[in-house]
Copies of this chain bind each other. A is one copy, B any other.
């Protein structure tokens, strides 16, 4: 769904030349290598090393991604697009409230599988196109459907749900890499759902 993201990008900042072929090539390569590298070495992986492995100079990396966060954002955005796609089937589920709960559990699992790289970006839903916004957006429809079906409280917002879920993603992602034991995502999301369910 990167194409969609790009389309929006274009429509918001119209007078923007397309990237030159070599520039785009390097950009893609950098994101690909960075994904591997962040996954393997954590979010502090050496940027010069990533540049080298992508076959470009550090200057090129820093031109495309002035800060580490810009690169991390690009990586996470792609990942988030894929994760968001996972929500689509749930939109037509018969029990919207259960679908929402399922989705939140999946979200936690995905963040865990992504080594917690994205957990820092899960909040902060107001910049467009970034990780938080994509996931927020994907959740929003599920929340709306659950509300419409009367399954969850009208006064609870998507943001609030995301905030509460972020603690779970963080805890579960952390526990995985530290070998700790924490209650399961299902259990914790269940507790959250218990609080927001109508009764």
Bound CA–CA A195/B174 (angstroms): 24
Copy tally for this chain in the complex stands at 2
Given the known A-B contacts A157-B183, A183-B159, are A192 and B164 also in contact in the complex, defined by CB atoms under 8 Å?
yes
With an 8 A cutoff between CB atoms, is A39 at the interface? Answer: no
Q: Is the CB–CB distance between A124 and B180 below 8 Å?
A: yes
- Contact of A193 with B195 at beta-carbon distance under 8 Å, contacts A123-B171, A123-B174, A167-B164 already known: yes
Q: How far is A170 from B162 in the complex, measured between Cα atoms in Å?
A: 12
Picked from B160, B171, B178, B191, the residue with its CB within 8 Å of the CB of A166 is B171
A107-147 vs B, Cβ < 8 Å mask (1 yes, 0 no): 00000000000000001101000000000000000000000
Which A residues, 176 to 199, have Cβ-Cβ distances below 8 Å to chain B?
178, 180, 182-183, 187-188, 191-196, 199
| Contact A187-B160, Cβ < 8 Å, known A123-B175, A124-B180 | yes
Which of chain B's residues have a CB closer than 8 A to the CB of A194?
A: 194-196
Q: Measuring CB to CB, which residues of chain A are less than 8 angstroms from any residue of chain B?
A: 123-124, 126, 156-157, 159-160, 163-168, 170-171, 174-175, 178, 180, 182-183, 187-188, 191-196, 199
